[in-house]
Every structure is written in structure tokens, then in C-alpha cells.
Chain A
Amino acid sequence: MSSDVGPAESGVVELILTAAREPEILSGFLSELEEEPDHYSILIVSNESTPDQIMSIVGEKLGSKPGEFGLINVGDGTRSTGLQTESSVNPTTILTIVEDQDISRLGTTINLYLNQWEDNDKEIRIYFNSLSNLLETVSLQQLFRFLHLLIFRIREIGAKGQFYLNPKNFERQTIKTVEPLFDVVAGNADIVAVGDQSGQVGIDELNGDSAESRLRRSVLSFLLEKQTPVELRKLTEWVLDRNIDAVGTPWNGDRDQFDEIYYSLYHIQIPKLVNAGLVVTDQSNELVEETRAANRVASLIRDNEDEP
């Protein structure tokens, strides 16, 4: 095992959706460290376990002392930790306790560690298992801003970050909002839930209960039935005539209602299906046709449409 490898050239930040508990995920995170512990600066941000429990897992997994180590306990401040709260990070500080409403202090604290470690020759690894409780205590907007800045910083210093979130506790849309911030998203609970279909085509665009997802499913099932290119205006009329849920009221030839569906298909829904590899359009975006890949998800659409 060599320990003279320098820090990673560029940072990678991963979001891992998992329902597993802390002992399992923290052990997994530590097991992925291939070099000797001394090669790394490790920052643990957690709200789930007490500092004692975390230190015991770290001790057990690593066996020897990491190059640098920091632990930020994110909590409501009332939990008994048996350890002194520190107000700032100095070279000997291992534990900092931050109240979970105080997201700016959390950001500052993480940065103090990162600033201190940035110029040493250790590889920085960050474990962040506090997204679930932060989502419950601060607004999504605050969390989004916080993550945006933090992830930028992690990438900038070439560190590796792993962020864990239990998808069971949150709406799919909440998770969707933060997902684009990350380089990698692992463990998509939704895709597993519909039978672990191959991710080669974007079945994500077909799942869900929203009016838009229903509209996309209907459009695709219509195209699969037709098996020929369809004009977008004809497709719009068909959607309106069928009075699918996205429309709400029966169509009486009203121009505004037509425009709403037509432009929604033109600007949003059809491009989404194109990006997902399920339909193709002509150059003017006026003719729409399903792709061969669409046939592979036909059963999925039917299953979804059969639901009450």
C-alpha cells in the first residue's frame, strides 16, 4: 500500500440515497479508504449517532489514527454528548457541535476544517450524514444554497464528499431539487421500486403522479399505438379530446386551452421524452415519433396507467 499518492486532482461529490442506518453507512464509507489511515484527512458530519458511537466505529474500522480528523455533530443542542462544545476549530479540535437550525454556522465550521487541511498533503474525505434532519429544520431554499456553496468548495480543493439521504422520508420532488448539485447520485429508490428496469432509457420521466408525468405517459402510449410520426397539433387535439388529467375540464375548442397543452408539449414534455431517448422529432419540432427504445418501456407505461 503506497501512501505517497497526492490529493485527488479534482473533487467528486456523491449523493447516496439509502435507508441504512449510520453504523452500516459509516462503516461502508471507512471501508472504501484504500490507503493507510494516515493518508487521509477525514471530516465526519452527522446527526444520527452520538460522538462516542461515531468514535467507536471509526476506531474499530481504521485501527490507527487518520492524518487529520474532524467530527461535526449536528443536533438540537439538547442531546447529551458528554463532550465540550467548541466555539471554533483550532488544530486540536476534533468535535464541534452545531445546532441544526444554524446552517450558516455549520457551513463556517466545515470550511474551518477544510481551510486548515487544504494545503497539507493528505487526501480529504468528507462524510455527510445530516441531510435528512437539515431538510426538516431549514427551508429547502436554505439547504440548496448551503449545499451549492459547500459542494463548490469541496470540488475546488479536490476533496471527495459523500452525502447520505434517506429517500423514504422525503417527497421525490424534494430529492429531485438537490440531486443536480451532485456529480453522482447512487441508489435511486424510485427506479428500484418499479421493478429495477434498465436505466438505459429515461424511465424517470415516466414515473410519478404529477399531471406532467401522466401527460408524458399518455403521449407515449398514443405514439406507441400509432407507430407513425404524428403532428404535434394532432397530438394536442388528441390529448384535449381524451380529457386526460392534465387538462382538468373537457375541451370545447377553446384556443387558450389548446395553446396551454400545445406549448407545454412543445417546450417541455416532448423535449423531456426526446432527452430520455423515447421519442424523436423533426427539425422544426412539429412531427413526433416514438423510438425503438420506447417499446421497451411500454409495459411500464401500461402498469402506471392501470393505477387508479
Chain B
Amino acid sequence: MATRVRSSDEDTVRLRLDKSDLNTTTIGLAIADAISALKDVEPDELDPLYYSIDTEAIGRLIQHTNSGDGSGIEITFTYDDCEVIIDTETVIDITVTTR
């Protein structure tokens, strides 16, 4: 459902999620997956995401803004030394970079 790509310099992981796969849970799991891939740990070795950001609220925001005029939104936040950028213009692109 999601494709994950690590950059050659190893400090960025990009994960792409089809809009058809989006729901309020998948977006959170995808973010956790991308961060754990960048840090090379299991997702349950990270601190729970919800304590940093409400991913269900992000999912709802993307769902609501999806159906509109086709323009996407960009959401940026930081989590444990990582910068997370979610861009929803055509597909949902999650980019996690070491700060």
C-alpha cells in the first residue's frame, strides 16, 4: 500500500501513500514506519507518536481537504530530531529528514 524510499545519503526517508489508502489510522502508521526506517529501529522502539502529534487529526484534515479543488496541503512537524513533511498534492508524500 505504501512505497518507501531511502535517499542515497541515508538521512532522508520518503514514503508515498496512495490517497485511496488514506484513513485516519494509516497516516499515523505510515509516519511511524518512515521514522523508524530512518532511525533503523522497530516502530515500537519509538516514543508513541500521539504524544507529539495527533495523527488522526492530520488524517481528518487531509481527508477533508482532499475532495476540494485538487490543491494539496503541506504539514510540517518535528519528532525526536526528525523533520516530518507531509505533502498531499497528488499522492501523500511523507518525507522524514534528520535535523
The B-contacting residues of A in range 16-53, CB under 8 angstroms, are none
Q: Is the interface of B mostly helix, strand, loop or mixed?
A: helix
Residues in B whose Cβ lies below 8 Å from that of A210: 24
The B-contacting residues of A in range 259-274, CB under 8 angstroms, are 260, 262-264, 266-268, 270-272
The B-contacting residues of A in range 129-165, CB under 8 angstroms, are 139-142, 144
Residues in A whose Cβ lies below 8 Å from that of B49: 267-268, 271
CB distance from B82 to the nearest CB of A (A): 14
Query: Does residue A275 face the partner (Cβ distance < 8 Å to B)?
Result: yes
CB distance from B39 to the nearest CB of A (A): 14
Residues in B whose Cβ lies below 8 Å from that of A262: 44
CB distance from B15 to the nearest CB of A (A): 14
A267 touches B60 (CB 8 A): no
Residues of chain B whose beta carbon lies under 8 Å from any beta carbon of chain A? 23-25, 28-29, 32, 43-44, 46, 48-51, 55-57, 60-61, 64-65, 68-69, 71, 73
Query: Does residue A115 face the partner (Cβ distance < 8 Å to B)?
Result: no
Query: Which of A140, A211, A260, A268 touches B48 (beta carbons < 8 Å)?
Result: A268
Query: Does residue A104 face the partner (Cβ distance < 8 Å to B)?
Result: no
Give the size range of A's interface with the partner: 20 to 34
CB distance from A190 to the nearest CB of B (A): 15
CB distance from B18 to the nearest CB of A (A): 16
Query: Which of A180, A212, A270, A285 touches B56 (beta carbons < 8 Å)?
Result: A212
Residues of chain A whose beta carbon lies under 8 Å from any beta carbon of chain B? 139-142, 144, 173-174, 176-177, 180, 210-212, 246, 260, 262-264, 266-268, 270-272, 275, 285-286
Residues in B whose Cβ lies below 8 Å from that of A267: 28-29, 32, 43, 46, 48-50, 55
B57 touches A176 (CB 8 A): yes
Query: Which of A141, A263, A285 touches B29 (beta carbons < 8 Å)?
Result: A263
Of the listed residues A142, A246, A263, A267, the one surrounded by the most CB atoms of chain B closer than 10 A to its CB is: A267
Question: Given A263-B32, A266-B43, A285-B44, A180 and B55 touching (CB < 8 A)?
Answer: no
A176 touches B60 (CB 8 A): yes
B56 touches A141 (CB 8 A): no
